[in-house]
């Protein structure tokens, strides 16, 4: 695989060997997890996080990752109102200017394609930290890393993707990365209004990955090795009524979790609203908080890769 400059789409990660190397690097990051601001390999480098949409995990984990590697951070939380964007500055101008101060920029934006547009004019690496309902490639890295860590392998798994498959950008990035592994079966479980867009279904067909679509979780979750639950993306709906019609269709509770295979895992990129009830948290299958932690180490590995 050619050395990446920008990270815009999960489809750029088309080499399982490369992923393995990145996962080994993330493992080392976790093993040596000390605050290494003095000795870190990214000493003197600066990450700018430009977030035009809310975030907790993604922004904090990027910033923690950079600091643990010895680098510094410039942050525009709530950039939609707190940056010059409110004065009408275009994203391209903002990126052009910020790239003079930072060595790498992580962008979260409400418009699909924003990170890609930024990468066209940025002299420094751009990382897509979520572009509307487009993609969220670093979440997919964290997700694949988590599955590998929890289950030891990816080949041959049965994976249920549940909830908002229409607007959920984590799903849109996870699918192409999953397609690198063999023998997978994918269950796509959503209300009909939130069905996976055609282009992603076509992609699965093209890659020869068998998938099933349905609305019912019962009968599917019992077979799954991984149940990947998503939040219904309230911010993408045209009206409150449309959101209300689908908001709580799937709720995983302790009883349902216990019906899963003993070694199966439950994942969620978080934040959860009602999709997973808190009584599941103590179940050994609940991997979502471990998944959030893995996001830190994989982002450390990625930043080191991009900047050294």
* Residues recognised as catalytic: 57-58, 87, 108, 136
Q: How far is the CB of 299 from ligand NCD (least distance, A)?
A: 11
Question: In this complex, which beta carbon is closest to ligand NCD, that of residue 125 or of residue 295?
Answer: 295
Question: In this complex, which beta carbon is closest to ligand NCD, that of residue 18 or of residue 110?
Answer: 110
Using the rule CB under 6 A, which residue among 47, 105, 270, 302 binds ligand NCD?
A: 270
Question: In this complex, which beta carbon is closest to ligand NCD, that of residue 8 or of residue 45?
Answer: 8
Residue 7 backbone phi and psi in degrees, to 5:
-120, 100
Residues between 213 and 232 that touch ligand NCD (CB under 6 A): 231
Strand arrangement, sheet containing 126-131: 72-76, 46-51, 104-109, 126-131
Which residues does residue 213 pair with via DSSP β-bridges, in sequence order? 188
Q: Work out whether 170 is an interface residue with ligand NCD (CB under 6 A).
A: yes
Q: Work out whether 269 is an interface residue with ligand NCD (CB under 6 A).
A: yes
Using the rule CB under 6 A, which residue among 6, 45, 149, 169 binds ligand NCD?
A: 169
Closest among 264, 254, 252 to 223, alpha carbons compared? 264
Closest among 161, 244, 138, 246 to 209, alpha carbons compared? 161
Q: How far is the CB of 208 from ligand NCD (least distance, A)?
A: 28
**Other beta carbons within 10 Å of 306:** 20
Question: In this complex, which beta carbon is closest to ligand NCD, that of residue 99 or of residue 128?
Answer: 128
DSSP for 78-91, please give it: THHHHSGGGGT--H
Q: Work out whether 130 is an interface residue with ligand NCD (CB under 6 A).
A: yes
Total residues binding ligand NCD (CB under 6 A): 10
Using the rule CB under 6 A, which residue among 12, 99, 103, 139 binds ligand NCD?
A: 139
Instruction: At 236, list the tokens.
Output: 């993408």
Query: Could you give the maximum distance between any two Cα atoms of the chain, in Å?
Result: 54
Q: Work out whether 133 is an interface residue with ligand NCD (CB under 6 A).
A: no
Residue 226 CB-half CA count within 13 A: 30
The 3-state DSSP class for residue 16 equals helix
> Which residues in this chain contact ligand NCD in the complex, by CB under 6 A?
57-58, 130, 136, 139, 169-170, 231, 269-270
């Amino acid at each position: 695989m050619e050395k990446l400059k920008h990270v815009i789409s999960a489809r750029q990660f088309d080499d399982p060997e490369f992923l393995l190397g990145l996962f080994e690097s993330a493992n080392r990051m976790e093993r040596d997890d000390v605050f290494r601001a003095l000795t870190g390999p990214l000493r003197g480098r600066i990450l700018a996080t430009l977030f035009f949409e809310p975030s907790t995990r993604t922004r904090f984990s990027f910033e923690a990752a950079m600091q643990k590697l010895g680098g510094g951070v410039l942050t525009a939380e709530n950039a939609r109102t707190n940056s010059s964007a409110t004065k009408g500055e275009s994203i391209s101008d903002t990126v052009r200017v910020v790239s003079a101060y930072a060595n790498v920029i992580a962008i979260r934006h409400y418009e699909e394609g924003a990170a890609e547009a930024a990468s066209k004019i940025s002299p420094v690496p751009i990382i897509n930290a979520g572009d509307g309902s487009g993609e969220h490639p670093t979440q997919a890295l964290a997700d694949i890393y988590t599955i590998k860590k929890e289950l030891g392998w990816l080949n041959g798994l049965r994976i249920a993707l549940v909830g908002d498959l229409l607007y959920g950008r984590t799903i849109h990035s996870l699918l192409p990365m999953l397609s690198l592994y063999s023998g997978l079966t994918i269950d796509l479980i959503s209300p009909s209004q939130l069905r996976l867009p055609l282009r992603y279904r076509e992609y699965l067909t093209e890659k020869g990955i068998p998938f099933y679509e349905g609305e019912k979780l019962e009968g599917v979750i019992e077979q799954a090795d991984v149940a990947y639950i998503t939040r219904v993306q309230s911010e993408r709906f045209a009206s409150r009524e449309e959101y209300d019609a689908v908001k709580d269709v799937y709720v995983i509770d302790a009883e349902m979790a216990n019906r899963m295979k003993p070694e199966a895992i439950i994942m969620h990129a978080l934040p959860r609203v009602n999709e997973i009830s808190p009584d599941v948290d103590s179940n050994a299958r609940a991997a979502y908080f471990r998944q959030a932690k893995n996001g830190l180490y994989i982002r450390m590995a990625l930043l080191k890769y991009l900047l050294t």
